[in-house]
Amino acid sequence: AADLGVLMAAIATPYDADGAVDTGLLSTLVEDYVSRGVEGIYCCGSSGEGLLLSADERTAVVETAVRAAEGRIPVVAHVGALSTREAIELGRRAQRAGASALSMIPPIYYSFGIEAVLDHYRAVLDAVDLPLIVYNIPQFTGTEFTLETAGELLGDDRVIGLKQTAHNMYALERMKAAFPDKAYINGFDEVFVPALAAGARGTIGTTVGLQVELFQAARRLLDAGDLVGAQRVQSRINHVIAELVAVDVFPAAKYLSGRSAGGAGALRDCRRPFRPLSEAARTRLDALGATL
């Protein structure tokens, strides 16, 4: 399996003037990311508005990203869905499209309980012949994966790792200590350096495509044992994140991502109910973009 402990961009999904997925722009964006040193593409996640897309749209995004990446970097397909049936269908389609791995949030909305959640994961693993990265994002899903709840999945050979979009470094370290051979992937760009220190390798993030050079620099400094230097780079990363979060992180990052594919805003606004960016927000982001 491809090494997934790398710097992966959680890619935005571009739309055309009619609001349909713009596969041409998506290919351009992937090409730009590859040329700038992004080491993997994560499709249809939070940043990619995966849960706001139809199954056919999600499939088209994965197919396009795989085609554009041309095997140079891995493409991970997020196939999380409320129903097990849909997650399986999305997983099968991602496999046919040539994705390197699947990733999946637990089912949301109903409080299913951990046994149902684990069954959901097992059903997808049984139905699809691709390795899987568990997506831990408790703030959105209400389910937190820790050693206690994710141990069974981490013990499964088909699960290659876990994406920790949570600030719980202790839980991350405990999982790593118990299952050291799995890939732990940071999911909050603002704690990249702390997560590497806790045992993660690589990251999947909204801002990776905007500032991959800084992520590379932080990793390099940490590898060289320069924690203070790495922390300084993390601060620069966080300055950008704070600006994006002050606007609205996903619409803001999507706006700036357009800069390498036709100009800021070229990917168009996130789908409703995300609110369109105001003129004031665009102006603020343009100023930020000039510093990147």
- Closest-CA residue to 132 (of 201, 198, 189, 80): 80
Residue closer to ligand NAY by CB (options 68, 185) is 185
Residue 102 binds ligand NAY, judged by CB under 6 A: no
- How does 103-113 read in b/e, with b if 16+ C-beta sit within 10 Å? bbbbbbeeebe
Residue among 124, 190, 198, 218 that touches ligand NAY (CB under 6 A): 190
Element (H, E) at 119: helix 114-127
Region class of 71: left (phi > 0), else alpha (psi between -120 and 50), else beta = left
List 15, 121, 135, 184, catalytic entry: 135
Least Å distance between CB 105 and ligand NAY? Answer: 8
Q: Which of the ranges 45-53, 219-227, 265-273, 276-284 carries the binding residues for ligand NAY, by CB under 6 A? A: 45-53
Question: Could you confirm whether 176 is annotated as catalytic?
Answer: no
Least Å distance between CB 117 and ligand NAY? Answer: 18
Joined together, the tokens standing for residue 129 give: 């012949």
Residue closer to ligand NAY by CB (options 40, 131) is 40
Residue among 121, 145, 188, 255 that touches ligand NAY (CB under 6 A): 188
Tell how far CA 204 is from the center of its chain: 4
Contacts of 39 (CB under 8 A, 6+ apart): 6, 7, 8, 73, 202
Residue among 14, 205, 251, 258 that touches ligand NAY (CB under 6 A): 205
Least Å distance between CB 260 and ligand NAY? Answer: 18
Question: Could you confirm whether 135 is annotated as catalytic?
Answer: yes
Q: In the stretch 239-268, what mask flags binding to ligand NAY with x, by CB under 6 A?
A: --x---x---x-------------------
Least Å distance between CB 138 and ligand NAY? Answer: 10
- DSSP strands (E only) in 117-266: 132-136, 159-164, 183-186, 203-205
Contacts of 232 (CB under 8 A, 6+ apart): none
Which residues are part of the catalytic machinery? 135, 163
